[in-house]
Structure 1
Amino acid sequence: MASTSRDPFELDRLAEELATREKSREDSDDATGHELPIYIPLSHTNPYLTSEVFDVEAFLLSRSHTSLRDLRSELRDYLSTLKEELVKLINDDYEAFISLSTDLRGEGARLERIKQPLGHLKTQILASKSDLQVIQDAIQEKLTKRATLRAEKALLHLLLKISESVTRLESLLLIASPAQDEESEEPRPVNLNLPEDNVDDRTHGNRAKHLSRVAAEYSQLLYHANKAREEKCVFVDEIQWRIDRIRSTLSSDLDHLFSTTLLSLTGEEGKTSEVEKAKTIADITECLRTYDSMGLWRDAEDVLRRDVVRRFVKKSIFPGALAAPQSPIVPHTPFRSSTTPASLATPSALPPRTPYTPFTSFALKTPFNHSLGSASHSPYAHILDDSEDPLASLFSQILRFVERDMSKIMVIADKVSLKSVSTARKDGFEILANVVWEEFGRAIMDELGLVVFAAGRPNEFRKHYEITNAFIRSLEFLAPSVHSVEAMRAHPVYTAFERRWQLPVYYQLRWKEIVSKVEDVLSVPRVELSSAKEKTAFASTQATAIWVAISACWSAEVFIPELTHRFWRLTLQLLSRYKTWLSESMVPDSIPVDPPSAESIAEDDKILRQYAMVILDARELHMHVLALWQEEISLMLPEAAGEERANLEDTLRESLSALTATTAPMSTHIVAILTKRCCDALLPVRSISSQFRAMSNKQMPKEPSYFVSSILRPVKVFFGIGVGQGPGESLKEHFLVSYATEIFESVAQRYVHHVAGMKKTEDSLRRLKKGKKQTFSLFGGNTKEEEGKDEERIRAQMILDVEAFGKDGQLLGVDLEQSEAFKTLTEMVHAVDGEAPPFRLNTTNETSSLGQYIESSDTWSYVQTLSAFSIRVVHANVSLCRRRDSPWWRRANILFVAFILPHFPRLREEQLGIAIGDILNKIRVT
């Protein structure tokens, strides 16, 4: 309590809360930043001091940048200022405060006197208000009655208009009124509908306009009748039968007039002048406009169907129409105007006929100009230009008829629909869909369906399908608008027509036809050479059959766009089937290692020919199918996004790559056979030393040995280089370099093997001579000089042989700089005794070829051959193996285990121990 009395405003607590709040907001204040505080002295305008409730915390926060001591001083200064102003106010207005109570005496009675007139005035005003309200109610009642009378009068006028309209329409349409019906039962005259020449001008020349005005009056009558019906007038219900009769009569007269006008325009006897033809077209336009205003679009279509189209259909489309000769469609040839009535004219009175050229709607064998509205400009017209095909001739005749008699009417009807309100709704004239296509489509299905849609004979079915689709597209070219084409394709007859095509049956027949031929050829498990009569890019009948089958899928005689996905799948299946046949029939199981014989050589020649043909055919098929994709397949596939089309192409390329990959083992087998033959030609290398030592002629050699030119001869024979035609002559462009490089590398390694063996023999002879004082020289010399000359001649001959071998390889496209084996061979033949370079061992080719040789021998041959092979490495590097810590010494010790042993799994455990011990002992002794 003592502390509270000392600090009544709890300034210490407020200071602590302020410090805590400022500390918590320190980080955010530093991040956002504040403007420098502005000192504002306390005044009467301070919002915190003038508020109804003084908020201490808000006030202190507003002065947060002022210390408590300064704030206390400022508040004390402001308090003293307030006191001074209050004292000054009291001193200045003290007299007014004192006289205020005196001045207010007697004002209450005065206010009471003022209230008395106001009560009387209020009473008068209320009385006047009630009188005015009575007057207002009376006026409102009279106005309501007047409005009711006005509405009844308007309704009576409307009914009078309806009655007058009905009477006027009956008069215009020559319909007897009810009163006349009671007096006379004679039928209504039909002069309005007859084309006699003795009727007046209104009923003959201006009938179309007359009926158009009647239709406009009828539309107004319907509007008035609907308006009166909303008022529930019994009168309208009473005369509804008369309105229906007017509609029926108007429709009948309009149908009769439209039919008569159509016959005058399209009839065979209706030869009119250009002026009369223009007037007839104007009358047809007026009739169609009248139909459109009355919403009788289907009635107009029925007239067209009945009087124009159906007559032609009955004459042209019947069960024997394809066997009957087609009569030409003669165009309407205009005559000069004549005043003689057509019904009274005789042949002698008519003017002479104008010569005409037989009509054709297609420009034959000429480029087509694509423009809507003419069948001759259709890009499909050339398909129907086949006079020998009865279906094409029939469709051409139908198109000529539509173009001659219906196209103008369809264009007029489309223009009328566009100008009228009917475009805002779904109704309107659909002459192409509801009249032309419905009649022709149904007649083709009913009368010619057994012939046109018969899928039992695929060739005829494909031709009928192509011709019929060309006819439909050409018919669409005659459409006046795109909307007409859409309406035709949405018509139920169009849907039923498309369903009549038995496309799955057609595909099954084609599939059986294509696949059966392929399977007959692939049933033979060997490659058969194509006959010279076929003149194809493929060497085998199997590849030819596959290519013919794939080409047939996309040929014009087989392909149908609606079956694109099925033919695409069949194409991939054919490629897969050929790949499977190659894998099962042609891919070799293993590389033969038998010693050469006449039978094996003949068998190898046969294999080389077959494999060469298969590899050639695989490449040719790859290129031909990709070309077919670029030129035809990619264009025939349905339109798709870029990613989908790329996926399809990737799928095709994967199939072709898998097919090409199947030939890789065949290439390996070809290389193995050629390598074996080339290595067999190297055998004379081993006899070079003995040959030179036995020769009496001690001259230095100048030419390579006789066998060098025959080392790579098998490769040249295979590719037909300098020896006529070889089995792989067609592969020379793509495989010569790769095959020659691989074969050259293997032969060079075998060459190194022979040279190393020969040097080993020379070293053995040299050591043997050193151990004896006098010995007989095998090479015909008793002095060291003669022996040295023999070695020089042998080395020179080997250098010439290796250089000639390298040149042969270069002629075949081998890059000698990239051949490690040839580099080793060159270094070996150029090396002087005691300076032999390290022996380069190709662990893949050398050991594998050695393994193939040893696999045909017994166990002790293994040991002998392995010993010789391991010791050869030491001999070839004898200068480097003199020190026991040499890395070549360690290589010789681990050579057997690391490189050779994995190739001979047939060794038993005890034999393996004997072989390892014998080999290592011989290596150490050496």
Structure 2
Amino acid sequence: MQDLQSPPPPSPQSTHAPPRSATDLFGDPTDPNPPQWLNPTLFQSQDFDPESYISDLRTFVPLETLRSELRSHFTSLQRDLVDLINRDYADFVSLSTKLTDVDASVVRMRAPLFEIREKIDGFRNAVEGSLAALQNRLKQRADAGEAREVLELLLDTFHVVSKVEKLIKELPSGQTDYVESGSNLRETQSMLLERIASEMNRLKFYISHAQNMPFIENMEKRIQNASSLLDTSLGHCLVDGLEYRDANAIYNCLRAYAAIDNTKNAEETFRSTIVGPLIQKVIPQNPSGVVGGSSGHELEEDYVKIKQYIEDDCKFLLDISSIENSGLHVSSFLANSILKEVHSAIQKGKPVVFSPGRPTVFLKNYKASLDFLAHLEGYCPSRSEVVKFRSEAAYIEFMKQWNVGVYFSLRFQEIAGALDSALSVAGLVPVASDQRKPQELILKQSIALLECLRSCWRDDVLVLSCSDRFLRLSLQLMSRFSSWLSAGLAARKAGNVGSNPGFEWAISAVPDDLVYVVHDLNRLGEDVCGDYLEHILELLKSCPAEVCDFVKQSILQGGKSLKGLLPIVMSAIIETIVEKSVEDLRQLKGITATYRMTNKPLPVRHSPYVSGVLRPLKEFLEGERAATCLTNETRNELLQGAALEITHRYNDLTSELVNMSRRTESSLQKLRLGAQRRAGASSDVSDHNLSETDKICMQLFLDIQEYARSLSLLGVDAASIPPYQSLWQCVAPAERKNTISF
């Protein structure tokens, strides 16, 4: 038995080191300690998870290595267990002999445990029975309490109904009783009505907590009769108080209406009794019955009279309803009585005022209505009341009647159409000098743009709630004008009238006409970025700073876009002047014919055509329009640009002429030499060995010197112009190429 279950007892030799295996002897030495990444103490923890442990190690240890190390650790554990058993083998064997009569001991301990369990179960059953009985008693008590509450609620309801009926019987039988009894009884009756209303409010509370009960359903008819009688009596009392302006009676009646949450009846009573007849005097539904009302379709005079009526006949009630801590803030007589009646009267008596078909009248009435609303808001005692007034349905419905979107559409068509009509004219149309002031716009197209821009922000056009739309329209107008001008100049440059319909004005315009364009663009840019912008910012000064900054940047960008058209207009002027100058420059070709195959001597003066090259530019700059409409800076810019372009064209034609002359002369020279060789004659040299090309260059040199002198008379230094420097290098004699002088 010992041989099967455990290793033999230790022998004297077992105290020595264990024998080494063949691997230990002939292979790599075995490391008895596990690697650092294998921590055996983790295996003994209660929350050890093999899967997570392996997943953590596999990130940096191969599975084969891990498996090998675990097997080595397992073998080590088995070896340690065997060593432990061999070491304490005697105690291990004697353990079974000490465990005697264990079963008898277990039986002796089981009996008292069973007894204790039975006692605990009995006690538990007794406690559960007592708890169930207690819970049953508590449930009965709660049901009894609820039943008592319902009974008390029903009794209170019955008592309140009876009390209300008793109080109602104390009220006067008809409206005449109020008139005959005087103000003291009116105040007494109003106080009684307020008390009844308070009881009715209490009754509504009881009914809301006792719905669908037969007792309440049986009393429903009595409750409805009491409520109807209360409403009727309240109406009579309020009407009587309004007619006699009994502040105490009105105050009590309004508190009664507030108590039963029926302020709409109070508002409607005030509207029909006081407000309605007053408004009918101003805006009667039947035009034949006009009493003090204004004629036509304007509301300004009507609002003046309505304001006076409100001050004289309605303010007393508004003051009563705005008493602090009165509980009357739930009513809104301004919106639901006054404004609602005014709205209804306008709809029935003057419905055309809401139509934007006539924009001027519509805007006048709209602004008058806004002023009237601001006047009504003046009766609000606090800012919160103003917010409440603006959120009322009557206020919202009244504002919906003013369709400012359609109004803006009509204004858009009117303003944009005016500009399109001005831009569709076939030519540039200046205003007569006697009809305009100095430094003002000249062309009707420019004047139309500025008038349209100003129209967007005129008092009789602008609606502040649509200011964003009018800003966009202003920018669109400037963009439309810029597109018209740039497209026309592009068509002028293309030169094809048939393919560019609508731009005849640009193709037929002369430089003097374009001077007006330059003048107007400068004035438009200054006006838009100056007075026009200041006017807009003054109108929008109540807007947030970031909004004003955005508007400012937008308008400035529009003004810069207008001034940005100046270069292309000036380029068109320069191009026209240059084309006229080139017509004289083409006479250069006659110089070749003058000296080719002739024996003319060297030239000593410039050609006649030179005096005409700069004549178009000089006539333009000395003309009346350029002198009066262009600034010195603009004139100088046009002068420099035209001189540069004319000189560039002069250089091109001259270079072409000289190159052609030299090629022709070279060909003729070869022909002469061939003929002389065949004839056996020797060549002779005439004109001091000067060729025809040299004579042509000398003539051109005299011409460009005269051209430079003409430029200097205009105020242009020819030597500083790169094309003139090239021109000088092309025709000047060799000894004078390095120095430009004339």
Q: Same fold (TM over 0.5)?
A: yes
Are 2:366 and 2:402, in contact at CA under 8 Å, matched by a contact in 1? no
Paired position in structure 1 for 2:299: 391
The Cα of 1:241 is off from its aligned counterpart by: 3.2
Paired position in structure 1 for 2:444: 541
Paired position in structure 1 for 2:481: 575
The Cα of 1:309 is off from its aligned counterpart by: 1.2
Q: In the alignment, is residue 671 of structure 1 matched against residue 583 of structure 2?
A: no
Q: In the alignment, is residue 88 of structure 1 matched against residue 88 of structure 2?
A: no
Q: What is the distance in 2 between the residues matched to 1:542 and 1:46?
A: 96
| 1:486-532 deviation line (CA, Å, top 9, x unaligned) | 2246654553x336x8947x96698479747964x667533333112
Paired position in structure 2 for 1:251: 231
Distance 1:413 1:89, change over 3 A: farther
Paired position in structure 2 for 1:613: 516
Q: What is the distance in 1 between the residues matched to 2:66 and 2:648?
A: 98
Matched residue of 2:391: which SS? helix
Q: What is the distance in 2 between the residues matched to 1:522 and 1:41?
A: 93
Q: In the alignment, is residue 297 of structure 1 matched against residue 203 of structure 2?
A: no
Residue identity in the other structure for 1:824: S
| 1:138-185 deviation line (CA, Å, top 9, x unaligned) | x99999888777766655544443333233333333349xxxxxxxxx
- Candidates 611, 618, 621, aligned match of 1:719: 621
- Candidates 482, 492, 495, aligned match of 2:387: 482
Q: In the alignment, is residue 820 of structure 1 matched against residue 728 of structure 2?
A: no
Q: What is the distance in 2 between the residues matched to 1:708 and 1:116?
A: 143
Are 1:455 and 1:461, in contact at CA under 8 Å, matched by a contact in 2? yes
| 1:8-43 deviation line (CA, Å, top 9, x unaligned) | xxxx9xxxxxxxxxxxxxxxxxxxxx955457699x
Residue identity in the other structure for 2:257: Y
Are 1:318 and 1:447, in contact at CA under 8 Å, matched by a contact in 2? yes
Q: In the alignment, is residue 831 of structure 1 matched against residue 733 of structure 2?
A: yes
Distance 1:46 1:129, change over 3 A: closer
- Candidates 335, 359, 365, aligned match of 1:464: 365
Residue identity in the other structure for 2:83: S
Matched residue of 2:238: which SS? helix
Paired position in structure 2 for 1:339: none
Distance 1:159 1:539, change over 3 A: closer
Residue identity in the other structure for 1:212: E
The Cα of 1:777 is off from its aligned counterpart by: 9.7
Paired position in structure 2 for 1:530: 431
Q: What is the distance in 2 between the residues matched to 1:78 and 1:713?
A: 125
Gaps of 5+ in 1: 1-11, 13-33, 52-57, 177-186, 271-279, 329-386, 423-427, 592-603, 696-700, 780-789, 838-926
Residue identity in the other structure for 1:530: V
- Candidates 202, 205, 208, aligned match of 1:220: 202
- Candidates 421, 425, 432, aligned match of 2:334: 432
Q: What is the distance in 1 between the residues matched to 2:264 and 2:66?
A: 90
Q: What pairs up with 1:638-653 in 2 under 5 angstroms?
A: none
Q: What pairs up with 1:188-199 in 2 under 5 angstroms?
A: 188=173, 193-194=178-179, 196-197=181-182, 199=184
Distance 1:647 1:509, change over 3 A: closer
Q: Give the paired residue count.
A: 651
Q: What TM-score, normalized by structure 2, do the two folds share?
A: 0.64
The Cα of 1:440 is off from its aligned counterpart by: 0.5
The Cα of 1:395 is off from its aligned counterpart by: 1.5
Are 2:300 and 2:368, in contact at CA under 8 Å, matched by a contact in 1? yes
Q: Considering fraction of residues, name the structure with more helix.
A: 2
Are 1:432 and 1:488, in contact at CA under 8 Å, matched by a contact in 2? no
Matched residue of 1:538: which SS? coil
Residue identity in the other structure for 1:394: D
Are 1:326 and 1:394, in contact at CA under 8 Å, matched by a contact in 2? no
Paired position in structure 2 for 1:498: 402
The Cα of 1:302 is off from its aligned counterpart by: 0.9
Residue identity in the other structure for 1:308: I
Q: What is the distance in 1 between the residues matched to 2:530 and 2:515?
A: 23
Residue identity in the other structure for 1:174: K
Are 1:305 and 1:435, in contact at CA under 8 Å, matched by a contact in 2? yes
The Cα of 1:305 is off from its aligned counterpart by: 0.5
Q: What is the distance in 2 between the residues matched to 1:607 and 1:105?
A: 134
Residue identity in the other structure for 2:347: M
Q: What pairs up with 1:840-919 in 2 under 5 angstroms?
A: none
Distance 1:97 1:212, change over 3 A: same
Paired position in structure 1 for 2:11: none
Q: In the alignment, is residue 161 of structure 1 matched against residue 156 of structure 2?
A: yes
Distance 1:772 1:290, change over 3 A: same
Q: What pairs up with 1:203-214 in 2 under 5 angstroms?
A: 203-205=185-187, 208-214=190-196
- Candidates 220, 228, 240, aligned match of 1:240: 220
Matched residue of 1:525: which SS? coil
Distance 1:661 1:228, change over 3 A: same
Distance 1:406 1:295, change over 3 A: same
Q: What is the distance in 2 between the residues matched to 1:410 and 1:258?
A: 14
The Cα of 1:220 is off from its aligned counterpart by: 1.9
Are 1:326 and 1:393, in contact at CA under 8 Å, matched by a contact in 2? no
The Cα of 1:316 is off from its aligned counterpart by: 1.4
Q: What pairs up with 1:145-156 in 2 under 5 angstroms?
A: 155-156=150-151
Distance 1:712 1:284, change over 3 A: farther
Distance 1:571 1:174, change over 3 A: same
Distance 1:534 1:474, change over 3 A: farther
Are 2:511 and 2:576, in contact at CA under 8 Å, matched by a contact in 1? yes
Gaps of 5+ in 2: 1-20, 22-34, 51-56, 58-62, 498-506, 674-681
Are 1:614 and 1:663, in contact at CA under 8 Å, matched by a contact in 2? yes
Q: What pairs up with 1:592-603 in 2 under 5 angstroms?
A: none
Matched residue of 2:430: which SS? coil
The Cα of 1:211 is off from its aligned counterpart by: 3.6
Paired position in structure 2 for 1:741: 644
Paired position in structure 2 for 1:315: 281
Q: What TM-score, normalized by structure 1, do the two folds share?
A: 0.53
Q: What is the distance in 1 between the residues matched to 2:479 and 2:701?
A: 61
Q: What is the distance in 1 between the residues matched to 2:142 and 2:687?
A: 158
Q: What is the distance in 1 between the residues matched to 2:363 and 2:276?
A: 29
Residue identity in the other structure for 1:481: V
Q: What pairs up with 1:113-152 in 2 under 5 angstroms?
A: none
Q: What is the distance in 2 between the residues matched to 1:512 and 1:222?
A: 61
Paired position in structure 2 for 1:173: 168
Paired position in structure 2 for 1:884: none
Q: What is the distance in 1 between the residues matched to 2:515 and 2:195?
A: 89
Are 2:271 and 2:337, in contact at CA under 8 Å, matched by a contact in 1? yes
Matched residue of 2:350: which SS? helix
Are 1:609 and 1:727, in contact at CA under 8 Å, matched by a contact in 2? no
Q: What is the distance in 2 between the residues matched to 1:574 and 1:81?
A: 105
Q: What is the distance in 2 between the residues matched to 1:294 and 1:252?
A: 13
Paired position in structure 1 for 2:10: none
Q: What is the distance in 2 between the residues matched to 1:778 and 1:117?
A: 152
The Cα of 1:718 is off from its aligned counterpart by: 1.0
Q: What is the distance in 1 between the residues matched to 2:508 and 2:116?
A: 145
Are 2:190 and 2:252, in contact at CA under 8 Å, matched by a contact in 1? yes
Q: What is the distance in 2 between the residues matched to 1:606 and 1:410?
A: 70
Matched residue of 1:173: which SS? helix
Matched residue of 1:530: which SS? coil
Distance 1:212 1:84, change over 3 A: farther
Are 1:546 and 1:578, in contact at CA under 8 Å, matched by a contact in 2? no
Q: What pairs up with 1:497-516 in 2 under 5 angstroms?
A: 497-498=401-402, 503=406, 511=413, 515=417
Are 2:533 and 2:555, in contact at CA under 8 Å, matched by a contact in 1? no
The Cα of 1:476 is off from its aligned counterpart by: 5.2
Q: What is the distance in 1 between the residues matched to 2:411 and 2:199?
A: 65
